[in-house]
């Protein structure tokens, strides 16, 4: 059976490279330990990080924190799940019912592209509606997400539907083309004039 390939502006990629990735629920603040343990066992793992500056009364420190706290992505076959579950810090495999649910290959491709490009990312709220776009040039070409306009910059939000979590990255200087012919309605709530804060 021939391998399925997907076209992106960057070229072609083999879809099966991004299949069989599962989200693992891990103990709080054990994401890096679990990712290293899985790598030592020979499994491909994905732990996207972002930089955050934390200020205390006596110092400021820059930390690398997980984009998806409490989760690590790992590529494995279902018959290997006992090895995964025996890894220190792993609580469970994200599943629907009794069957582990794989992440969408497009989501894994987008996350891998973000990690490879070294973009300044940050966690954001999950979006279920909005304009779905694909980046056509620059280091992020080929990834898809939801486009938002925040003040003077454009932000691409990549939503991982399996986890109901999202990642945001600013995309000034890159081109985005809509994937949906008509954007989904975005509901905005306006505070009545009597409740506005002065």
Q: Is 139 exposed, middle or buried (0-12, 13-18, 19+ CB in 10 A)?
A: middle
Question: Within a domain: residue 32?
Answer: yes
Question: Within a domain: residue 67?
Answer: yes
Closest CA relative to residue 163, chosen from 70, 43, 51, 37:
70
- CATH number of the domain bearing residue 67: 3.30.70.940
Question: Within a domain: residue 109?
Answer: no
Domain that holds residue 76: 20-101
Domain count, the chain: 1
Non-local (6+) Cβ contacts of 196 within 8 A are none
Q: What is the pLDDT of residues 149-164, one digit of tens each?
A: 665 677 788 888 889 8
Q: What is the pLDDT of residues 30-77, one digit of tens each?
A: 999 999 999 999 999 999 999 999 998 999 999 999 999 999 999 999
Question: Within a domain: residue 164?
Answer: no
Averaged pLDDT score across all residues of the chain: 80
């Amino acid at each position: 059976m021939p391998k399925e390939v997907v076209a992106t502006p960057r070229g072609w990629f083999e879809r099966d490279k991004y299949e069989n990735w599962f989200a693992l629920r891990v103990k709080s603040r054990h994401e890096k330990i679990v990712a290293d343990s899985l790598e030592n066992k020979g499994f491909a793992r994905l732990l996207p990080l972002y930089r955050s500056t934390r200020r205390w009364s006596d110092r400021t420190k820059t930390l690398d924190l997980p984009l998806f706290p409490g989760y690590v992505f790992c590529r494995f076959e279902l018959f290997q799940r006992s090895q995964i579950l025996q890894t220190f810090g792993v609580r469970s495999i994200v599943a629907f019912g009794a069957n582990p649910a794989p992440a969408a290959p497009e989501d894994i491709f987008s996350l891998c592209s973000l990690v490879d490009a070294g973009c300044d990312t940050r966690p954001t709220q999950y979006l279920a509606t909005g304009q779905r776009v694909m980046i056509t040039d620059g280091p992020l070409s080929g990834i898809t997400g939801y486009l938002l306009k925040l003040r003077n910059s454009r932000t691409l939000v990549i939503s991982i539907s399996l986890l109901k979590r999202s990642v945001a990255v600013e995309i000034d200087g890159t081109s985005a083309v809509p994937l949906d012919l008509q954007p989904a309605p975005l509901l905005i709530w306006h505070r009545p004039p009597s409740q506005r804060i002065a």
